[in-house]
Amino acid sequence: MNCPRLRLRYYSTSHFNQRIMHLKHASGATKVDDALQVFDEMLQRQPPPSIIQFNQLITVVVKTRHYSTALSLYKQMKLMGIPTDLYAMNISINCHCRLNQVTYAFAILATIFKQGQPPSLTTYNTLINGLVLADRVVEAVEMFKKLLREKLCEPNPITFGTIINGLCKVGYTSKALELLRFMEASSCKPCVAQYNTIIGSLCKDKMVDDALQLFANMTEKGVLADVITYNSLVQGLCNFGRETEAAKMLIDMEKEGLSPTVNTFNILVNAFCKQGSVKDAELAVQSMVRRGLHPDVITYNALIDGYCLRGEIDEAENVLDGMVERDIVPNIITYSSLINGYCKNKRIDEARHLFQEIQDKGLIPNIITYSTMLQGLFQSGNPAAAREFFNEMQTKGQTPSLCTYRILFYGMCKNSQCSDALALFRSLGSEELMKDIVLYNILIDGCSKCGKPNLGMDLFDELSSKGLKPTVWTYTVMIPVYFQEGLLEKGKELVRRMEENGCLPDRVTYCVIVQELLKKNEPREAENFLKEMLSRGFFPDSSTFSMVLHLIPNVGKDSRLRSIFQKLTSEERMAE
């Protein structure tokens, strides 16, 4: 009896309760191991603790997402002859669902029936959610209908919410909205969670105004928005470039007595940075600090990236120093942004140095880090080093992404290697690459820049057979291709044709056609396009503008064009 393992048998029930409670609130790396330790002791105790305690403990393991471990614990209990209950089976069903083992989950349902007990509503909800998680939304809906039809149980808001979530997941947001309306009319009233699912989905579908409408509806019905509602809306507005409204939303939520979280601010900070106004992002950070919130690694990374995108590497370095001072540990994303910043500033040696240094520190570069370096090497005018780097990254086990290939092919074409790029593109025979219109745009543009317009035409001609739809960008890069081949009519016709195909020419398209026509000594034609461009509210960029000034004598016998140009030239003088 002096064996320590056996002595544990005398621990009281309340002893385990305390330890389970403690584990629930614990955080850290040893949480699961500690739970397993407690489990072993519980298993040893005679008589065994109640199934409720086992379920509580295993729930701790489930919450850390160690589903297989949780299932193995139930297996051990079974071996020890400890009987389980419906709760235990529901938890097991959930674990199998999370592990993408819906078949096993349904096997447990069969066991429940075999034991002669009715499954609970939770059993059904968990299974329906399992089908949704497995992208088997149609089956989830079928099961839901069967539940109603055979009156197996009365659905609750969670049942509806799960189906709403599934419908949104597969893009049937309007069906989800119908179901929500059904709930509103029924006695099973929706709560904020169901509204949030649809609001989030509408925002993802770029229907942020509909999301705002639903938000208003919800409030009218007396359902109070929570932080998740506001965060979704802030995100939705930011995705649409509506940062000002998003910032206003943040004030609104405070008026409602809800405190914005670090996430709320991070969404705004990131949006301001992406939009180019790091100043506003810094102001947002200040206001989050004033509210007692602590910026985290995501906040700092957004700022660093914002500065790097603007090429303000010194500012980015300052932010890095600041975060380190506050004990926030920079991660691979932080350093990838900085590497990008150095590359953008043509400081390739510093980029390479940092790339090496982080690896010495034990950080593992990922495909984005490698792609950033690759781009930097090409931009530094060293295509040979870039190619070598590209091969090296693959020997290190990095699989190039679509983005990597875009960088590679763009870099090769920029360095007069469009034939090599094309040969590589063909030899890869990758389905993913051949479905990417952006890559085609890069290659077509590359061919024309390399003086191989015939290759560009071949690429353009194969688009339709690949099921690819040309974009504004595609049509725009095709103009110089036709012009190089001397097919001026086809080039001009393309500008008409793209419009018929639902691609309105943009500023770049007009700049390109005007410049190409001027190069081919067609000032009258150029002027026609220029007029059309101006009438559509586009202004020439500086290179087009100076070409126009030099090559069109007495620009604009037409008074409107002349007045626009007089205005432009005077503005330019003022800027000088």
Is residue 196 a contact residue for DNA (CB under 7 A)? Answer: yes
Place of tokens 């497995």: 134
In 32-44, which positions are buried (b, 16+ CB within 10 angstroms) versus exposed (e)? bebbbebbebbbe
Count, residues near DNA per rule CB under 7 A: 64
Q: How far is the CB of 11 from DNA (least distance, A)?
A: 20
Cα distances (angstroms) measured from residue 178 to each of 5, 124, 498: 59, 22, 38
Identity of the residue, 125 or 415, whose beta carbon is nearer to DNA in the bound complex: 125
Note the Cα 188 to chain centre separation in Å. Answer: 34
Q: How far apart are the first and last CA of the chain?
A: 95
Q: Six-digit token pair at 446?
A: 């590359």
Q: Which residue from 571, 508, 515, 573 is spatially nearest to 544, judged by alpha carbons?
A: 515
Binding string, residues 87-106; x marks residues near DNA by CB under 7 A: xx-xx--x------------
Nearest CB to DNA, comparing residues 109 and 487? 109
* Residue 328 vs 481, nearer CB to DNA: 328
Q: Which stretch binds DNA (CB under 7 A): 85-93, 138-146, 278-286, 458-466?
A: 85-93
Burial of 451: CB neighbours in 10 Å, binned 0-12, 13-18, 19+: exposed
CB of 330 to DNA, least distance (A): 9
Q: Which of residues 48-77 bind DNA (CB under 7 A)?
A: 51-52, 55-56, 59, 62
Binding mask 198-237 for DNA (x = CB under 7 A): --x-------------------------xxxx-xx--x--
Angle at 226 between CA 237 and CA 223, to 5 degrees: 105
Per CB under 7 A, the list member of 23, 49, 67, 129 interacting with DNA is 129
Cα 431 from chain centroid (whole Å): 23
Prior bond to 523 cis, omega within 30? no
Q: Which of residues 392-421 bind DNA (CB under 7 A)?
A: none
CB of 388 to DNA, least distance (A): 21
| Whole-angstrom distance, CA of residue 136 vs CA of residue 143 | 11
- Report the amino acid identity of residue 117: Q
* Binding track over 242-271 against DNA, x by CB under 7 A: -------------------xxx--xx--x-
320 touches 304 (CB < 8 A): yes
Taking the least distance from each CB to DNA, the nearer of 99 and 551 is: 99
Binding region for DNA (CB under 7 A): 51-52, 55-56, 59, 62, 85-88, 90-91, 94, 120-123, 125-126, 129, 156-159, 161-162, 165, 191-194, 196-197, 200, 226-229, 231-232, 235, 261-263, 266-267, 270, 274, 297-298, 301-302, 305, 331-333, 336-337, 340, 365-366, 368-369, 372
